[in-house]
A = this chain, B = another copy of it.
Amino acid sequence: MNSRRLESFSDGVFAVAMTVLVFDLLPIGKDAATAHGLTYVLLSAWPQYAAYAISFLTIGIMWLNHHTMAAHLRQVDRGLLLLNLLLLIGVVALPFPTALVAGHLNQGTPGAAKVATVTYGLVMIVISIAFGSMWLYLTSHQATLARGGRLELPRHARLRFTGGLWGYVIGTAAAFWSAAAGLVIYALLAVYYVFENLPTPSAEEEEGAADGR
């Protein structure tokens, strides 16, 4: 299969998964007829906004990483498609732990906040494993799958596609001890990836890739 269709399909899934995050915000304000008034309700929902922004950035960065990887592909085979589906299962599920964290961070018991934060980390670990597996698969099948028959990603790209796994393992472990510690690590990972700079192919090269050449 041509890599272009994999990209456009995955783009659609990433775009919708991002948009689904707003459903974590929509119920806020429905119960505003409290003694405190709407301002209090909106301000005390700050964990929802933080969770929305972090998950949005995280999916945005995964989209970017996905594109960087796909830009080096000539075609995709069944194995890569399967790993890509596994990745998307995780990406699409992300609004679920996001809602869990947002809903239990400053409500309910401290134990519930930890459980929610650990769940978030577990989903990110599944996503990271899928991403790392795609990278390993691609490396070992570069003769048939990579553009030009050879993967020309710089060495530190390996870190980009596999390093997140260790970050999320540490974050999840920290969340067993403190929900706040886990969340800070997840947020730092998102911010790190925003600024981490991996060269992508130039417009000319990429255009060739988009044409399937």
Binding site for B on A (CB under 8 A): 1-2, 4-5, 7-9, 11-23, 25-26, 28-30, 32-33, 37-39, 42, 52-53, 56-57, 60, 63-64, 67, 71, 74-75, 78, 81-82, 85, 88-89, 92-93, 95-96, 99-100, 103-104, 108-109, 111-112, 115-116, 119, 194-195, 197, 200, 202-204, 206-207, 210-212
Complex A-B: 30 CB contacts under 8 Å: A1-B71, A1-B200, A1-B206, A2-B207, A5-B11, A5-B67, A12-B12, A13-B18, A16-B16, A17-B22, A20-B22, A21-B92, A22-B92, A22-B93, A22-B95, A23-B23, A25-B93, A29-B104, A37-B111, A38-B104, A38-B108, A38-B115, A39-B111, A42-B119, A56-B92, A57-B89, A75-B202, A82-B194, A204-B212, A210-B212
Q: Is the CB of A85 within 8 A of B112?
A: no
Q: Is the CB of B13 within 8 A of A15?
A: yes
Name the residue in A71, A93, A211 with the highest tally of chain B Cβ atoms < 10 Å from its Cβ: A93
Q: Is the CB of B2 within 8 A of A210?
A: yes
In the assembly, what is the distance between CA of A33 and CA of B107, in Å? 10
Chain B, Cβ-Cβ closest to A11: B9
In the assembly, what is the distance between CA of A88 and CA of B53, in Å? 11
Q: Is the CB of A96 within 8 A of B1?
A: no
Residue of B2, B12, B194, B203 touching A212 (CB-CB under 8 A): B203
Collect the chain B residues with CB atoms within 8 Å of residue A32's CB. Answer: 104, 108, 112
In the assembly, what is the distance between CA of A32 and CA of B26, in Å? 20
Chain B, Cβ-Cβ closest to A5: B67
Collect the chain B residues with CB atoms within 8 Å of residue A89's CB. Answer: 52-53, 56-57
Collect the chain B residues with CB atoms within 8 Å of residue A53's CB. Answer: 89
In the assembly, what is the distance between CA of A206 and CA of B112, in Å? 51
Chain B, Cβ-Cβ closest to A107: B33
Collect the chain B residues with CB atoms within 8 Å of residue A57's CB. Answer: 85, 89
